[in-house]
Amino acid sequence: MAGAINMSIDQAILESTAVSGQTTLRFYRWTPATLSLGYFQKAKNRDSHSPSIDCPIVRRASGGGAIVHDDELTYSLCVATAGTIAKASVDLYDIVHHAIRKSLAEQGIAVSLYEATADETVKASKDDPFLCFQRRAVGDLICDGAKVGGSAQRRLKNTLIQHGSLLLSKSEFAPELPGLKEQSGVEVDVQCLIDGVRQRLEETLGITFVADETSTNEQTRAHEIETKKFGSAQWLEKR
């Protein structure tokens, strides 16, 4: 799906979570290849990255650096903040990333969670690289020295969304960023990865996910959000 509707579906599901209290895990891809800006990035800065200049652009509701969504897998996890899962929101990063790490290990792909050295600063600053995958944060997924996965969170009323990106292989629109295929020499079986992550999150969080489609109400709401927010020039040019 295109970037604006992908972001809008996530928000529609998040709004549903506020009513139902249910935890929802979603995996998705982007078509065509799209550049997403972090909430606080300036739109004009996309001109600084020439390989992605012809990609459509969208602004996320969460912070961080720009991401080129091409041969990449995105996930979103929506939870109610009144529940026990969200009370450990800081731990959610590690919980999801360890689920990804263990699932990749089953395919012979070794990744680790990034740990900063004692003399290293990993706080966000205006001097950070434009692309998210050229930055480092504690808990990022690292494969043979390169960042291949990261996540961000955003709260809305009594809900929380955590979403993240996993680079499957190098994109022509971001040739400076190697993916899991380049770093490990193994091509990821995406469906096996999804199944493994889901199963591990069920075990760790003590819940059961039921495969389902977005509801009619969520689809309707997503298109409303797309028109008013993620698909609008006003939102894109917010910074």
| Residues classed as catalytic | 132
Contacts of 119 (CB under 8 A, 6+ apart): none
- 3 state DSSP class of 221: helix
For residue 154, the one-letter residue type is R
Q: Which of 32, 57, 22 is nearest to 171 (CA)?
A: 32
Instruction: Confirm if 210 and 26 have CB atoms less than 8 A apart.
Output: no
Instruction: Please report which residue ranges of 48-205 form alpha helices under DSSP H.
Output: 84-87, 89-105, 180-184, 190-205
Instruction: Confirm if 149 and 97 have CB atoms less than 8 A apart.
Output: yes
Give the Cβ contact number of residue 170 at 10 Å. Answer: 18
| Residue 193 burial by Cβ neighbours in a 10 Å radius (0-12, 13-18, 19+) | buried
- Counting Cα atoms < 13 Å in the Cβ hemisphere of 107 gives 23
Q: Which of 9, 6, 11, 131 is nearest to 73 (CA)?
A: 6
Between vectors from CA 61 to CA 55 and to CA 63, what angle results, nearest 5°? Answer: 85
